[in-house]
Structure 1
Amino acid sequence: MGHHSPSDDKGPTLLILTCLLFSLAFITTVLRCWVRWGSRKIGVDDGLMALTTVLSIGRMAIQIVSVRYGNGKHREFVSDHDYQIINMLTWYTQILLFPTICLMKVSICLLILRIKDTRTLRYILGAVITGLVLTNLECLVVLLAECSPVKAYWNGTYADHCWPAAVRIYSIYLQASYAVATDLICTGLPIYVVWSVSSIPLSTKAAVCGLMSLGLVATVCSAIRAASLGTTTDDLSYAYCIAAIWANTELFLGIIAANLALSRSIYKYFSEHAKKLASNTSGSRASRTPNLRNSLIGPSRMGYVMSPEPSMAFEATYIPHSIQSFASAAPLKPYKNAATFFEMDEIEKGKL
């Protein structure tokens, strides 16, 4: 306390990195769900990834507010009131973090099963998913039960109403350790599954494996996130900001890597739709002129036909001056009985 620099503020770094990574995660998730929905192939894995992205929006919004109160600064540069607000908001972001990470990794496991569904793979991924739910749930339970009342976590009465901070920290160590193991599994399994499917082209296999390898970066971030936590609670506005930076990097890179693994399908979907749109546009232009010409020279227009020539219709009949000539403005009389345009053309040909 007292030996830190006021310029040592990690809040801007948290905001810039979070907004950048979230933008990429949001765009790729929207494209993924759009393509799956348009192709009528949307599944539970897509829904879970969409839910993960929605929860991350709430988490990011809370972090933006916390930086306004001084999150990222050292304790001596933050007022007591703002420090309590930061701790309260940090508690909420942790509540959102663990279910969000769990949903993201369960989505990846289900995506692997959509690529190749075998009995052995179902057992392996079922065990992985069970462990993910349990390890993230225990962190959530510890956070909720750590203090009684809960607001003691941030209102300055922590020592009197809460468990030792080591309980929460070690529960996070357990969760992070299992997260590292599952990251390795969720990165290695897609590579194994994709390479074992003979119908997938070699270039596609290489691209998918390369993109899924981004999950290894998330693995490193998960390990650093756990290592950045300590059992001391005297400078949480700074320490938890650093932990949040690594947690957001882990979360958003995991979402981006999972979505980009489907980038070939996304590209194919939009390229095919672009070709269809171009084909329909050129076809409509090509047919517009003949259709217009036919409508002008054909015997019918808008369900009406021209009256017969006066010389044919009124042969040897006196025509009063009040009746206009065909050349000036001959009236058009409608067909009766609502015939189709094709039928009207045939009728007119018969008459003529």
Structure 2
Amino acid sequence: MSLSTRDSTYDAGPSILRDVWGLTGVAIVIVILRIFAKARIGKFGADDLLMAFALCTAIVGSIMITLAVHYGFGQEVSTLRDIDVSKVILHDYLAQTFGLAGGAIGRVSFVVFIIGLLVQKSSQRIVLWVLISLQVAVNLLFIIIIFVQCPGHESAIWDDTGKKKCWDLHVQAYYGYFQGTFNAATDLGLATFSTYIFWNLNLKLRIKIGLVALLGLGIFAMVAAIIKTVQTRVLATSDNDPTTATVTYDRWLFIETYLVIITTSIPSIRSLFRSMKSRRLNNQKSYELSSRYVGSMHTTSRTRRRDSSIDGKGIMNASEGNLSNEVFARMESNIETPQSSHSRESVIIVDTKCSA
């Protein structure tokens, strides 16, 4: 696709396309690896379907921003010749819509993953399901505001016709501050929750740190969400130069969205690399680590066995590669914090040569 005549002194179009499509490519690779890793061990689930949907939604947003640039987005409107500015604004709004939706769905996918992986207490499940509802509601309302801000004159959003009947642009900007702050707080909350759960398991320190680091990668998305939220102020003045006002805002919106998709998918692909290492290190020295389980032991002849010589204890033989499969593929979805008084102890034999 050729771009429109781009003879403006200021032209941010090509740079935003490089950023957006660079992240799009990385996200596609990571999600494909995620799906392969989960399908390989028979644990492809609802969270993976949601993440694939989030990626597809974000890709549509990338296409919309590309079309916006094609029509002149990124150049000062006063320097454009023979350009239909309404098309620029329309595709800019569509890009924002799909970008916002992709980030929200990606966060919902991660919460579903966390619920299946770590949560046993009903109170924690309720809190996380409420968080899912709020994530959908808060982001959906922002999208609705974008398209109903000119009641009865929808085309006025990108056309001057009926513009006087539109809401003040500050409405969109103020709600954008709230939406961005909520998303950043969600990323921080999920990282903190994952850290709290794993830190209270009886695992070796280096294993804890590794697992916490993987599940806490959403902090990077939080930083992008904060920067995007600061840029939300431009929505209140976007009419002044509609083809350049939201360039930085859009860039950080897509950085945030793709970081959500990438960072929350990385924990699921760890099993691919750990399983490859475990095949080479299956004869290394092992140590015993204690962990706690609730409910029945779902035994498999390949990864665990019961040892009758230890009363009341289940023995699970696993390398850290298999531990990764167990934890991150939710083969041990009944891990619980050691504070539970009605849990019973088992021993995980973990290969110390594998890094967390």
TM-score normalized by the length of structure 2? 0.70
Higher helix residue share: 1
1:163–1:260 distance in 2 versus 1, CA, 3 Å: same
Kept in 2: contact 1:63–1:93 (CA 8 A) = yes
How much does 1:209 deviate?
2.5
Structure 1 residues 199-278: aligned runs within 5 Å: 202-229=205-232, 230=234, 231-232=236-237, 233-269=239-275
Provide the residue aligned with 1:33 in structure 2.
35
Cα distance between partner residues in 1 of 2:82 and 2:223: 34
CA distance in 1, matches of 2:186, 2:261: 15
The answer to which of 165-174 and 207-216 deviates more is 207-216
Q: Which amino acid aligns with 1:250?
A: E
Provide the rounded CA distance (Å) in 1 between the counterparts of 2:202 and 2:82: 62
Rounded Cα–Cα distance in structure 2 between residues aligned with 1:161 and 1:83: 20
- Unaligned residue ranges in structure 2 (runs of 5+): 1-6, 282-356
The yes-or-no answer on 1:163 pairing with 2:180 is no
RMSD of Structure 2 on Structure 1 (CA): 2.3
Alpha-carbon contact 1:173-1:226 (below 8 Å) kept: yes
Q: Does structure 1 conserve the Cα–Cα contact (< 8 Å) formed by 2:37 and 2:269?
A: no
Q: Is the 8 A contact 2:118 2:197 kept in 1?
A: yes
Structure 2 residue aligned with 1:296: none
Indicate if the aligned counterparts of 2:61 and 2:97 stay in contact, CA closer than 8 A.
no
Q: Could you tell me the percent identity over the aligned residues?
A: 24
* Alignment map for 1:174-185 (pairs within 5 Å): 174-185=178-189
Q: How far, CA to CA, are the matches of 1:263 and 1:34 in structure 2?
A: 8
Deviation at 1:124, TM superposition (A): 2.0
Counterpart of 2:125? 122
Measured after TM superposition, the shift of residue 53 of structure 1 is 0.4
1:41 aligned counterpart, secondary structure: coil
Conserved 8 A contact 2:16-2:247: yes
Contact 2:65 2:92 (C-alpha < 8 Å) held by counterparts: yes
The Cα shift of 1:77 comes to: 2.1
Q: Please state if 1:47 is matched with 2:68.
A: no
> CA distance change for structure 1 residues 264 and 154 in 2, over 3 Å: closer, same or farther?
same
Query: 2:314 is matched with which residue?
Result: none
Distance 1:191 1:128, change over 3 A: same
Q: Distance in 2 between matches of 1:79 and 1:151?
A: 22
- For the 8 Å contact 1:59–1:97, the answer to whether it is kept is yes
1:75 CA drift (Å): 2.2
Aligned match of 1:289: none
Secondary structure at the counterpart of residue 160 of structure 2: coil
The aligned runs of 1:334-345 (5 Å cut-off) are none
The secondary structure found in structure 2 opposite 1:243 is helix
Q: 2:351 corresponds to which residue? A: none
* Letter of the 1:89 counterpart: H
1:131 aligns to what? 134
Secondary structure at the counterpart of residue 236 of structure 1: coil
Letter in 2 for 1:167: V
2:103/2:257 contact within 8 Å kept:
yes
Q: Find the residue that maps to 1:13 and give its secondary structure.
A: helix
What are the Cα deviations for residues 28-53 of structure 1, in whole angstroms up to 9, with x where unaligned?
11111111112111111111111000
Contact 1:115 1:194 in 2 (8 A): no
In the alignment, the residues of structure 2 paired with residue 136 and residue 56 of structure 1 have an alpha-carbon distance, to the nearest angstrom, of 14
CA distance in 2, matches of 1:274, 1:156: 67
Largest Rg, 1 or 2: 1
For residue 186 of structure 1, what is the aligned residue in structure 2? 190
Conserved in 2, the CA contact under 8 Å of 1:144 and 1:150?
Answer: yes
Q: What is the DSSP-based 3-state SS (H/G/I as helix, E as strand, rest coil) of the residue aligned with 1:113?
A: helix
Q: Distance in 2 between matches of 1:27 and 1:173?
A: 32
TM-score when scaled to structure 1?
0.71
Structure 1: state its 5+ residue gaps: 276-352
Cα distance in 2, alignment partners of residues 158 and 12 from structure 1: 33
Q: 2:67 aligns with which of 55, 65, 68?
A: 65
Letter in 2 for 1:264: R
Stretch moving more, 170-179 or 241-250: 170-179
Aligned to 1:347: none
Equivalent of residue 153 in structure 2, options 142, 149, 155: 149
Shift of 1:87: 0.1
Number of matched residues? 270
Call closer, same or farther: CA 1:77–1:205 in 2, change over 3 Å: farther
2:177 to 152, 173, 177: 173
The secondary structure found in structure 2 opposite 1:156 is coil
In structure 2, the CA distance between the partners of 1:30 and 1:271, relative to structure 1 (3 Å rule), is farther
Worse overlay, 164-173 or 240-249: 164-173
- Cα shift at 1:188: 1.4
